[in-house]
A and B are shown apart, each in its own frame.
Chain A
Amino acid sequence: MVLRQIEGSRGVAEAVARCRPEVICAYPISPQTHIVEALSAQVKSGALAPCEFVTVESEFAAMSVAIGASATGARAYTATASQGLLYMVEAIYNASGLGLPIVMTVANRAIGAPINIWNDHSDSMSQRDSGWVQLYAETNQEAVDLHVQAFRLAEEVSLPVMVCMDGFVLTHAVERIDVPEQEQVDAFLPAYQPRQLLDPAEPVSIGAMVGPEAFTEVRYLAHARQMQALELIPRVAADFERVFGRSSGGLVRPYRTQDAETVVVALGSVLGTLKDTVDELRDQGHRIGVLGIISFRPFPLADVRAAVGQAARVVVLERALAVGIGGIVTSNVRMALSGNGTRDYTVIAGLGGRAITRASLREMLLAAEADRLEPLTFLDLNRPLVERELARAGERRMSGPAAENMLRDAGPATPWIG
C-alpha cells in the first residue's frame, strides 16, 4: 500500500486509468476538469494505451461518444458536472436504456440560474430516475475506490454507473490517498465482456423502437437489473476488500446508529462533518447516529430501514432541493421507513457551496431531538433577506431578479462559501 498526498481529481484519474478504459470523452466543466486533464496526459504520453481520448464539442457529444464506444465493446468513461450533466440528459437516459456499462464521474455542483460553480447535489439528484446506478463518495479514498468498483458493477449488470463526488470539496482537496495498483485492479476487474455488441461478424440492430406492447416490460427489466445491482454492490465491495485490503463502497454506512433515538441521513462528503458533530453530541449523552447512503440508485430500502432501526426520528440532510416540496432523499428514506412511525425532518443544507458548519449542525440536531425542528428546514437561511425580497415582490410586479436583489441586500461579504 502506497499512500500519496494528491488531489482527489488526480487520484480518480489514476484509478480510472488503471481500469484500462479504451475510450475517454471529455468536455471541460468545473469542477471535473482536473480529472480529464490528468487522463488526457496519460493517453497523450502513451502511459494509458490503447485508449482514445476524444475531446468533444459538448457533454451531449461526450455521452454520445461513450454510447457508441460502449456498444462497440470498448470500456468507456467520461466525467461531468452540473450544467454539463443536464446538457447530456437525453444521452444519459439513452445509455441506461440501451444497457451500456459506461462509468461517469459527476463532480457534484449546483445548477443555475443563478450560475454557481460550487458544490451541492442538485445535478446528480436530477438524474436519480435516469436508470443509472448512482454511488456517492464520502472521501477521496472512497471516490477512487468506487470508480474501480463501478466498472466491475456496470459491466456485470450491464448498466451505466455514476460515481458522484462533491465538487471542490473532494475533487480539489489534496489528501493522502491509496491509489490502487495496476496488478490489484487487473485482479479485481476482468476484461469487458459486452452483453451486446456491434460486430460485423454477428450483426444485430441495437436501439429498436418499442411500442406499448413491450415498453412496460423493458422498463420492468431495467428496474430488475437495478435490483440485481442492489445485491451485487455489497458483493463487489466485499471482493474489493479482499483484493485491496480496505472497506470501501457498499450500499449504506451506518455510524453509531445502535440505540440511536435520532439518525441523521446524508450522502457524500458532509458525512465527515456530521460524524464529528455526532461524536461530540454522543459524548454529551445524546443518543444520535449517522447513516451514510453510498448507493442512492438502486436505493437500499431494507438497509436503510435496518440501520435506522428503532430510532424515533430521522433527520435527512439534503444537498439538493426539490423545489415546491422540499426533500428528495427524504421521500426515499420515508419509503424505507414506511409504517415504522419514525418522525422525519428534512434539512436543506449546503446549496451552491454554502459551508455546513458543525455549529449549525449541532444546533439543528438539538432542535430535532426536541422535535422543535420544522419538517422542512433550510440550514443557515438568511431569513430577513428573503423576507425583504418577498415583500418587495409583493409590492411591485417588476421587482427585478431575486438573486441580484438579495446579493445586493447581503452586501459584499459572502462568508458562507466553503
Chain B
Amino acid sequence: MELPFAITLDVGSSLANHTGSWRTERPVYVNRLAPCNQACPAGEDIQGWLYDAEDGGYRAAWERIMADNPFPAIMGRICYRPCQTACNRGTLDEAVGINSVERFLGDEAIRSGWTVPVDAEPTGRRVLVVGAGPAGLSTAYHLTRLGHQVTVRDAGDKPGGMMRYGIPKYRLPREVLDAEVGRILDLGVRLELGQRVDDVLAARDEGGFDAVFLAVGAQIGHRAYIPAGDSARILDAVSLLRDVADGEPPQLGRRVVVYGGGNTAMDAARSAKRLGATDAVVVYRRTQDRMPAHPSELAEALAEGVVVRWLSTISQADSGTVLVEKMRLDETGFPQPTGEFEELQADTVVLALGQDVDSSLLAAAPGVAVDAGRVTVGTDLMTGAPGIFAGGDMVPADRTVTTAVGHGRLAARHIDAWLRGVRYQPAPVLPLATFEALHTHYYADAPRTVRPRLDDARRTTGFEEIVGGLDEETALFEARRCLSCGNCFECDNCYGMCPDNAVIKLGPGNRYAFDYDYCKGCGICVAECPCGAIVMEPEET
C-alpha cells in the first residue's frame, strides 16, 4: 500500500540502525577446560564424550574415549574417578556418574563388537614395549594407531599386568579384560608372553627396535621388618592377589590380619573374606582421613564386614596372634608409639605396605637414573637414555591403572614425535571452568542414578562382579546430568535471551555466532549462559 508519509512505516526498516556501535564490551564464545577433563589421569575428553552420549550417540562417545584410552569398560569399573571428585555437579547436588556411563559405553562396545581403525600410513618404525600392563598396552595401542609397528613383551603368561594380577575379578571380570586387551592385539600389536627382558638395550638392539617403552610396573611387595615367630604365617598382598588371579588361592585360615592402608590392603582384605575368612582386620597406623586407599574401596570393604583398626602397628607376629601397638598422631600428623599393646587373633598376616620396582633391566643403560626406587623420566617420559621411555608404576606418579593408561597415551605421542625427530607439543591448556563460572539455576535437580548393586549378602560369597552396569535409559539420564562446564551445549539461552536478536543460531552442532551489527553489549548472554561459555571482552577501539 501507499503509506502515509512518516506516520506509517514499512516493517523491518530498523535493520538500518546498527546498534552495535553502542557497545563498549563485546561477548565472545569460549571453550573452557571442564574440571573432569582436567582431573582425568588418562587425559580423556570426558565432557566431550558425555556430550556425544547425551543424544544417544554412544558409538561417537565411545570413539572419543578410545581416542585417549583403549580401556573404557575397564575404566568404567576400576578407575578411582578423580573426574567425579572434580565434577562441578557435585557442588550442586551429586557428581555425574561419569564412571558408570563410561562402563556402559565400554560394555556396549564389547557387546556390539565395535572396533577402531588404524588410519595412519605405516611408518616402518618399530617400537618395543616391555610390560603388558595398562601403561604398556596403552602405549602399544596408540603407537599402532599412529602407524608404528609395536611388539609387547611380558614375562607373564597372560597380558594385563596389574589389571589381571593385582585387581580381584569381583572388581574386574576377566572376560572384560580379555575383550579390551584382545581389541588392541587385533589392531596388529605383536604380543610376546613369557619373555622376561633383562637388558633393555640388548633387547632393543637384537630386535632392531627404534624406540623402547618400559612399563614393567612395581611388582615386588614391600617388606617391613616384623619380629615374627617361626610359625607365623606372613604373606605379601601382591602375591596373594596374584595367586588368587591364577586360580591357586592360598589357605589363609579364618582370621586374617592385613597390614597397610592402601587399595591393595583393601583388595587383600576383601579377597580374604571371599576365601573364607570370618575376620578380616586391616591394621593401619594412621587415621581414616590419612588413609591412601580410595574412600570407595574402604566403604565397600567396610560394607563387606572388613574391620579396620586405626592408629595401630603390628609390632610382632606369632602363630595365631599378632601384637598390635596403639599409635597417636603428633603435631606433624606422624604416628608415634604409645606403648599400649593389644593382641589380635591372626591365622595369617598379609603385608600390604606398598610395592617396589625391579629396575634391573635398566642396569646396563647409560644415563638412566633411579630415585627412591623409581625410574627418573622427563615430562616426555623419556629416561636418561635416548629412545628409552618409561611409564606406569615404575616412574614417580600415582600408582593407578588410569595414571598408567594416561602415561601410555602421553608416551605414545612423545615416542611418535621422537621417531619423527620432533618434539611433541601438547595443545595449550584452556582456562578452567570453575563452579563459579556456571549459572547453576539452569540445571534441574536430577539425582545421581545409583548403580544397581548386588546384595551385600551375596557379595562376599564369591568373586562375582559386585557393581552392576547401567541400562541404556539410566546411562543416558546420567550422561545428561553433565553440566557441560565451560563448553556450549546449545541450550539456546544466548539466542533466546538477547534483547536485540543479535545472536545467530547456526543449527545443530554448529552452536551460535554474535551479530555484532546489533549486539549492544548488555552481557545478558554471558550472565545467563549456564555453562560459562561466553565472556565479555573490551571492545576494540
- Are B8 and A217 interface neighbours, CB within 8 A? no
A contact residues around B4 at 8 Å (CB) = 98-99, 158, 195-196, 221
Picked from A98, A196, A207, the residue with its CB within 8 Å of the CB of B1 is A196
Tell me how many residues of A have a C-beta within 8 Å of chain B: 19
Distance in angstroms from B290 CB to nearest chain A CB is: 73
Q: How far is the CA of A99 from the CA of B5 in the complex (A)?
A: 11
Expressed in whole angstroms, the minimum distance between the Cβ of B7 and any Cβ of chain A is 6
CB of A325 within 8 Å of the partner chain: no
Q: Is A204 an interface residue (CB 8 A)?
A: yes
Residues of chain A within 8 A of B9, CB atoms compared = 204-205, 208
A391 within 8 A of B: no
B289 within 8 A of A: no
A202 to B10, CA, bound (A): 9
- Which residues of the partner chain B approach A210 to less than 8 Å between Cβ atoms? 6-7
Report the separation of the CA atoms of residues A206 and B10 in the bound assembly, to the nearest whole angstrom.
9
A195 CB contacts on chain B under 8 angstroms: 1-2, 4
Contact between chains at A99 and B7 (CB < 8 Å): yes
For residue A203, CB closer than 8 A to chain B, the reply is yes
The reply to whether A197 and B6 form a contact with Cβ atoms under 8 Å apart is no
| Residue A214 at the chain B interface, CB threshold 8 Å | yes
B427 at the interface (CB under 8 A from A): no
Distance from B422 Cβ to chain A, minimum over Cβ atoms (Å)? 63
Instruction: Looking at the assembled complex, report how far the CB atom of A181 sits from the nearest CB atom of chain B, in whole angstroms.
Output: 33
Residue of A197, A202, A205, A218 with highest tally of chain B CB at under 10 A: A205
- The answer to the question of B444 belonging to the interface, with a C-beta cut-off of 8 Å to chain A, is no
Cα distance A203–B11 in the bound complex, in angstroms: 7
CA distance A204 to B7 in the complex (A): 10
CB A289 to nearest CB in B, in angstroms, measures: 41
- Tell whether, in the assembled complex, residue A204 and residue B6 are in contact, meaning their CB atoms are under 8 Å apart: no
A97 at the interface (CB under 8 A from B): yes
- For window 208-228 of A, CB contacts with B under 8 Å fall at 208, 210, 214, 217-218, 221
Contact with A along B154-186 (1 / 0, CB 8 A): 000000000000000000000000000000000
Measured between alpha carbons, how far is A212 from B450 in the docked complex, in Å? Answer: 70
Whether B15 sits at the interface, judged by CB under 8 Å, is no
The minimal Cβ–Cβ distance linking A119 to chain B, given in whole angstroms, is 35
Beta-carbon contact of A204 and B5 below 8 Å: no
- Tell me which residues across on chain A come within 8 A of B6, comparing CB atoms: 208, 210, 214, 217-218
Mask of A49-72 contacts with B, CB within 8 angstroms, 1/0: 000000000000000000000000
User: Would you give the 0/1 interface string for B3-27, flagging 1 where the beta carbon is closer than 8 Å to chain A?
Assistant: 1111111110000000000000000
Contacts of B11 in A (CB 8 A): 203-205
Determine if B5 and A214 form an interchain contact, defined as CB atoms under 8 angstroms apart. yes
Find chain B residues with CB under 8 A from A98 CB: 4, 7
Most chain A CB within a 10 A radius of its CB, from B1, B8, B10, B11: B8
Partner of A221, one of B1, B3, B5: B5
Q: B7: which A residues are within 8 A, CB to CB?
A: 97-99, 206-208, 210, 218
Q: In the complex, which residues of chain B have a beta carbon less than 8 angstroms from the beta carbon of A208?
A: 6-9
A217 vs B6: C-alpha distance in the bound complex, in angstroms? Answer: 9
B473 to chain A, nearest CB (A): 45
Q: Which residues of B sit under 8 angstroms from A203, Cβ to Cβ? A: 11
B124-161 residues at the A interface, CB under 8 angstroms: none
Residues in B with CB closer than 8 Å to A204 are 1, 3, 8-11
Additional 13 contacts, C-beta under 8 A, given A196-B3, A207-B8, A218-B7: A98-B7, A158-B4, A195-B1, A196-B4, A202-B1, A204-B10, A205-B11, A206-B8, A208-B6, A208-B9, A210-B7, A214-B6, A221-B4
Q: Identify the 3 closest CB pairs spanning chains A and B, nearest first.
A: A214-B6, A205-B9, A210-B6
Selected A-B contacts with CB under 8 Å, 26 pairs: A97-B7, A195-B1, A195-B2, A196-B4, A196-B8, A197-B1, A202-B1, A204-B1, A204-B3, A204-B8, A204-B9, A205-B9, A205-B10, A206-B7, A206-B8, A207-B7, A207-B8, A208-B8, A208-B9, A210-B7, A214-B6, A217-B6, A218-B5, A218-B6, A221-B4, A221-B5
State the B residues within 8 Å of A (CB). 1-11
